[in-house]
Amino acid sequence: MRRRAACTSTRINRSNQNPAGSDSGGFFVRAGAPIALPSALIRFYPFCASPAGEGGNDAGGTISMDLSGFQTMQGRDVGADGLAGDRSARQFAAHFHPPSRIDARLVEAWSDLAGQASEPNIFYEHWFLVPALAQFRHHDDLQLFLLWAGEPHRSPLLGLMPVGPEQQFGRWPVPHVQNWMHHNCFLGTPLVRKGFEPMFWEKLLAALDERDWPGFLHINAMTISGPLDQALRAVCADRKRRCDLVHSEARALLEAHCTADEYYRTNIRKKKRKELLRIKRRLGELGELQFSCLQDRTNLDSWIDEFLALERKGWKGKSGSALDCADATREFFRATVRGAAQSGQLERRDMRLDGQPVAMLVNFRSGRGGFEFKTAFDEDYASYSPGVQLQIENLDCLDKNAVDWVDSCAVEGHPMIDHLWSGRRHIGRFSIEPQRLADRAVFRGVRLGERGMGKLRKRKIFDPAEV
């Protein structure tokens, strides 16, 4: 299954040449340098550590540590009902927190927040975001925006989003502020505790108004029509600020509303099902064919090595976009998979022929949601559709009652997964009008330019919220 590339991406590279939004293609801008994790933080993220002298870390090597102790608050419902009371009298605390100051107390509150988020997003969970910050370039002034129910670290964490200034808006040298993403981050929806979505946006906009970052706020890759989108639009309408959906796309989504067999028979034509069964039998004639699904850490490091080698063997390796083609993406992948396993959120699947991997799949889970992160297959067996065969086995999650939905994290119009999964998840980019008059003029000028380019290219933005 061909996803966005690890090191480079056709869609992202094309987007880097255009201003943001559907009128102009969207963008991902990265500047500055990766953070050098201090020794105090490496105690809690040993899988991000490098030997002394590498990557700016001073831990002196990798240290083994179990993160299960950080999950003590997870599962305790302290959402809107648990924090009921006079909100006007509550002293909410909102502030910007530098990534270099992430510590064990924040990780514990962060884990609890992720477990109670109104919209799960593994890409902003601590075991995914911290390794990304350690390995990928970003603006030197990137911050974590944190919203607490009261005194920081002594009250529940209500919201979190990495955000910072950027100087380039696509092709245009327009300063602005945006949530941070990278080439292996496929969702930018902030983590916000259920019931506090409006409060999160109100506090974020107020904090940005007081900060000396120039320009407007741009939110990349947020779920459209979800609780956070609805709250953002409502808050902006109340403050008489424009909140423009500037780009939208729809990607494949697996929704749990029937059994795996019913789903397969409904979405795949009978003729195609017979053909897939035939080639599966032919593949089985070449040797012993086995499917496996693991959720623990059994032989995890060797499994990661096999995945990296299998992906690099194919077209991604030839194009230089495989995870194993760069130290940063290789170590990032190792760290996130290990971190997900330690947090109990990893599911890894493979199809093997005589013990050798033919197709492999990495899934992450958060709450009742799932995310297909990476997949790879042996192109020597491409005529047997190994990637499709593994995806068919992956449908058994519908029988396990483990998730309500699974996000494919694939590009819009993907030639394989779009034919297997009938659901669609709408993802959008939003630009929010700032308070300062000078910045507001720039915002309106940018939007005018984007609309003009959109008309020339005959691009339309589909907004499910308006249907």
Q: What is the pLDDT of residue 67?
A: 34
Q: What is the pLDDT of residue 234?
A: 98
Q: What is the pLDDT of residue 47?
A: 52
* Interacting residues of 50 by C-beta distance below 8 A, sequence separation 6+: 57, 59, 331
**CATH value of 10-30+66-249+426-466 in 3.90.380, 3.30.160, 1.10.3470, 3.40.630:** 3.40.630
Ranges of the chain with pLDDT below 50: 1-32, 38, 40, 43-44, 50-78
126-135 and 104-115 helices, crossing angle to 10°: 130
* Interacting residues of 455 by C-beta distance below 8 A, sequence separation 6+: none
In angstroms, the CA 218 to CA 243 distance is: 10
10-30+66-249+426-466 and 257-403: same fold? yes
Strands 369-377 and 356-366: antiparallel
Q: What is the pLDDT of residue 18?
A: 37
- State both tokens at 292: 């496996």
Strands 243-255 and 93-97: unpaired
Question: Does residue 248 contact residue 431 with C-beta atoms inside 8 Å?
Answer: no
- Single-letter amino acid code for the residue at 283: L
Q: What is the pLDDT of residue 35?
A: 54
Instruction: Show the CA angle centred on residue 427, arms to residues 206 and 319, nearest 5°.
Output: 115
The tens digit of pLDDT for each residue in 365-411 reads 999 999 999 999 999 999 999 999 999 999 999 998 889 999 999 99
CA dihedral 318, 321, 323, 326 (to 10 degrees): 90
Whether the full predicted model's pTM is greater than 0.85, yes or no, is no
Question: Does residue 212 contact residue 439 with C-beta atoms inside 8 Å?
Answer: no
3-state secondary structure the chain: CCCCCCCCCHHHHHHCCCCCCCCCCCCCCCCCCCCCCCHHHHCCCHHHCCCCCCCCCCCCCCCCCCHHHHHCCCCCCCCCCCCCCCCCCCCCEEEEECHHHCCHHHHHHHHHHHHCECCCCHHHCHHHHHHHHHHCCCCCCCEEEEEECCCCCCCCEEEEEEEEEECCECCECCCEEEECCCCCCCCCCCEEECCCHHHHHHHHHHHHHHCCCCCCEEEEEEECCCHHHHHHHHHHHHCCCCEEEEEEEEEEEEECCCCHHHHHHHHCCHHHHHHHHHHHHHHHCCCCEEEEEECCCCCHHHHHHHHHHHHHHCHHHHHCCCHHHCHHHHHHHHHHHHHHHHCCCEEEEEEEECCEEEEEEEEEEECCEEEEEEEEECHHHHHHCHHHHHHHHHHHHHCCCCCCEEECCCCCCCCCHHHHCCEEEEEEEEEECCCCHHHHHHHHHHHHHHHHHHHHCCCCCCCHHHC
- The closest alpha carbon to 67, from 44, 83, 93, 86, belongs to 44
When computed from its CA atoms, the radius of gyration of the chain, rounded to whole angstroms, is 22
Q: What is the pLDDT of residue 429?
A: 95
**CATH value of 257-403 in 1.10.3720.10, 3.40.630.30, 3.40.50.9100, 3.40.50.800:** 3.40.630.30
Other CB atoms within a 10 A radius of the CB of residue 331 amount to: 20
Q: What is the pLDDT of residue 428?
A: 97
Q: What is the pLDDT of residue 42?
A: 52
Report how far apart, in Å, the C-alpha atoms of 391 and of each of 4, 136, 356, 439 are: 17, 30, 18, 47
Instruction: Show the CA angle centred on residue 417, arms to residues 416 and 423, nearest 5°.
Output: 140
In angstroms, the CA 131 to CA 124 distance is: 11
Strands 176-179 and 369-377: unpaired
Domain definitions of the chain by residue range: 10-30+66-249+426-466, 257-403
Query: In terms of residues, how long is the chain?
Result: 467
